[in-house]
């Protein structure tokens, strides 16, 4: 991979934490950050996958395990980064889960989706931002989803929690952007990860899960995690708030905002077509 001077200059010598770093977009981000000269804490709920990615990267990475929504774990990630490489410059709140289906989603499924897809971001920012304000800078990167700008057919908890993630990223940027804290919000559609393959299928409602997956796959190209990571780092280097690995999401979002009722009618038709492919 040929490295961009601008991107490499942004990340060289910086310390980054990447949650959900054991696979998918997180693993690709960790590798690309190291390619550009950053030092990385690869964090994941699964210690084996986090350790594998860190070992592949080499001396520029260490691993850490735990629930990225747990404040004690987040503090551990920050401490791990500081002891290994120095203060955290960039935090990639990338860990995410699918959740339940619709109104049949349990309170536990709602809580899990909100914990990892939204509250994990809030808790990380709560711990990081005071230090960034004192030091004069830092960058918070939220992996949300196109579902956070549009919606997610087949999964209410995923859609709502990703909308909340986008809303929090907006608030964070508005509130602290003039004080040196940069914020980026990443909103991809389909990415070839375990989440798309099986993570969107709740065991208690397989049909709704397959609807969610088919909706994503039908909406646009399914990108590789590496393609997404390259777009994310280029956007972070450029100081972009909204990073769209699928550029067509902007057009969809504009259509939604220009005529909300028409957009909802169109989404109903889209859902009906997916549910009734032979009609």
Tell which residue, 56, 45, 54, has the closest CA to residue 81.
Answer: 54
How far is Cα 245 from Cα 228, in angstroms, rounded to an integer? 6
For 54, residues 6+ apart whose C-beta sits below 8 A from its C-beta are 30, 40, 42, 61, 62, 63
In the residue annotation, 158 being an active-site residue is answered as yes
Question: How far is Cα 131 from Cα 11, in angstroms, rounded to an integer?
Answer: 19
User: Which among 158, 176, 253, 260 is annotated as catalytic?
Assistant: 158
Beta bridge partners of 182: 139
User: Cα(252)–Cα(259) distance, rounded to whole angstroms?
Assistant: 11
Q: Which sequence positions are flagged as catalytic?
A: 158
């Amino acid at each position: 991979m040929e490295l961009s001077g601008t991107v490499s200059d942004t990340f060289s010598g910086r310390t980054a934490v990447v949650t959900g770093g054991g696979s998918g977009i997180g693993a690709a981000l960790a590798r690309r950050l190291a390619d550009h000269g950053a030092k990385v804490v690869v964090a994941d709920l699964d210690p084996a996958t986090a350790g594998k990615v860190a070992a592949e990267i080499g001396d520029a990475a260490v691993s850490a395990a735990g629930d990225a929504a747990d404040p004690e774990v987040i503090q551990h990630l920050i401490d791990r980064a500081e002891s290994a490489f120095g203060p955290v410059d960039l935090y990639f709140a990338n860990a995410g889960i699918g959740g339940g289906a619709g109104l049949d989603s349990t309170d536990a499924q709602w809580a899990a989706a909100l914990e990892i897809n939204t509250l994990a971001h809030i808790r990380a920012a709560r711990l990081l931002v005071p230090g960034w304000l004192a030091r004069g800078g830092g960058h918070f990167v939220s992996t949300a989803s196109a579902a956070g700008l549009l919606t997610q057919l087949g999964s209410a908890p995923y859609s709502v929690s990703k909308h909340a993630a986008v809303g929090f990223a907006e608030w964070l940027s508005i509130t602290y952007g003039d004080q040196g804290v940069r914020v980026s919000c990443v909103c991809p559609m389909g990415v070839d990860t375990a989440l798309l393959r099986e993570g969107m299928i709740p065991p208690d409602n397989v049909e709704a899960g397959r609807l969610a997956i088919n909706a994503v796959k039908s909406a646009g190209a399914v990108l590789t995690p590496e393609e997404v990571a390259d777009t994310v780092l280029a956007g972070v280097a450029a100081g972009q708030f909204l990073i769209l690995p699928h550029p067509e999401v902007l057009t969809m979002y504009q259509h939604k905002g220009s005529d909300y009722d028409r957009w909802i009618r169109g989404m109903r038709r889209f859902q009906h077509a997916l549910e009734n492919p032979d009609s």
